[in-house]
């Protein structure tokens, strides 16, 4: 097994096909026990399940094994997963160190796609450390690498990272433009998972610009696309975002209906954060009516 298998499992997860990914990883583990690529695929499954400590331990082990075997592409993959886990565990300096290692190993392996993805991971770590100028540089380098190999999903992800950095720099129009380009790239790739992330980025930029009139259309598309990849939490957030925008537009009856829809979706998804907010909004809307 090699990084092609890891990339395949990552793609299945992105498409919301977790059951198929689990089945293939389980079979691969039986056929190729102790294979580092299979272990890394298992780390991806843990990461998708938000079991970041478990994913980190597996990826860290694979990184060491792959480094000893001088499999630079696999080392880069493992370091990138480590960085993502560490960031979510609020270990941001360690996340940056792993992100930089991922970039270095991908460059040594002359793997442009891996380098683009590693630069995106590095950018995310820099955003978490509130270093937006460096994050923007990493995102732009990732975008260039992704465009060189013609990989639309990586291009979309790089543009999302660019939008994040621009937003922190208070360059909100530029952030919106980058997010819109990310949506276009994701749609070109016909990748729903990337489209969900890009639409979320666009939504955040619209709220920052207080362009509430443009929000309902985006939230409708986001909710539908999130539903397609079984991302119930994003679907709930989209529905709630719609209710907030409608309230800002003084469309209080519509805001009330949207909040009730968001609350019901959150109940079904057992998503307590959106549920709490959505339950509060009806009382705010009623006071405004």
pLDDT tens-digit readout, 54-88 = 999 999 999 999 999 899 989 999 999 999 999 99
pTM of the model: 0.88
CATH (residue range 210-289): 1.25.40.10
Question: What are the Cα distances from residue 67, in Å, to 62, 101, 109, 116, 231?
Answer: 8, 11, 12, 20, 35
> Residues of the chain whose pLDDT is less than 70?
1, 271-289
| pLDDT computed for residue 278 by the predictor | 47
| pLDDT computed for residue 272 by the predictor | 59
**CA-CA-CA-CA torsion sign (63, 69, 70, 74):** negative
d(CA 71, CA 240): 45
Pick the CATH number of 1-110 from 1.25.40.10, 1.10.10.10, 1.20.210.10, 1.10.600.10: 1.25.40.10
* Residues 143 and 159: beta-carbon distance below 8 Å: yes
User: Where do the DSSP E strands lie in 6-122?
Assistant: none
Q: Which of 141, 163, 154, 149 is nearest to 185 (CA)?
A: 154
Tens digits of per-residue pLDDT, 163-184?
A: 999 999 999 999 999 999 999 9
| pLDDT computed for residue 77 by the predictor | 93
Same fold, 1-110 and 210-289: yes
Q: Domain locations in the chain?
A: 1-110, 210-289
d(CA 208, CA 196): 19
d(CA 189, CA 99): 25
Q: What letter would DSSP give residue 214?
A: G
């Amino acid at each position: 097994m090699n990084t092609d298998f890891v990339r395949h499992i990552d793609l299945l997860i992105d498409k919301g096909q977790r059951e198929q990914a689990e089945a293939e990883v389980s079979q691969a583990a039986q056929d190729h026990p102790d294979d580092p690529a299979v272990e890394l695929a298992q780390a991806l499954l843990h990461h998708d399940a938000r079991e970041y400590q478990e994913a980190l331990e597996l990826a860290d082990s694979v990184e060491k094994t792959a480094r000893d075997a001088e499999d630079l592409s696999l080392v880069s993959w493992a370091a990138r997963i480590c960085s993502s886990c560490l960031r979510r565990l609020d270990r941001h300096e360690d996340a940056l160190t792993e992100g930089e290692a991922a970039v270095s190993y991908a460059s040594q392996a002359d793997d442009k796609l891996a380098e683009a993805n590693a630069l995106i991971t590095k950018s995310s770590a820099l955003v978490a450390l509130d270093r937006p100028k460096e994050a923007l540089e990493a995102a732009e380098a990732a975008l260039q690498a992704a465009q060189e190999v013609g990989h639309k999903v990586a291009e979309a992800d790089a543009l999302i990272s660019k939008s994040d950095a621009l937003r922190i720099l208070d360059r909100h129009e530029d952030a919106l433009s980058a997010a819109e380009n990310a949506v276009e790239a994701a749609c070109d790739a016909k990748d729903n998972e990337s489209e969900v992330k890009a639409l979320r980025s666009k939504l955040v930029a619209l709220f920052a610009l207080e362009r509430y009139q443009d929000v309902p259309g985006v939230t409708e598309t986001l909710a539908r696309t999130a539903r397609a990849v079984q991302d119930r939490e994003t679907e709930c957030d989209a529905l709630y975002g719609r209710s907030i925008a409608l309230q800002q537009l003084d469309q209080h009856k519509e805001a009330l209906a949207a909040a009730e829809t968001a609350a019901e979706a959150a109940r079904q998804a057992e998503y307590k954060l959106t549920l709490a907010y959505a339950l509060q909004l009806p009382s705010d809307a009623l006071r405004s009516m």
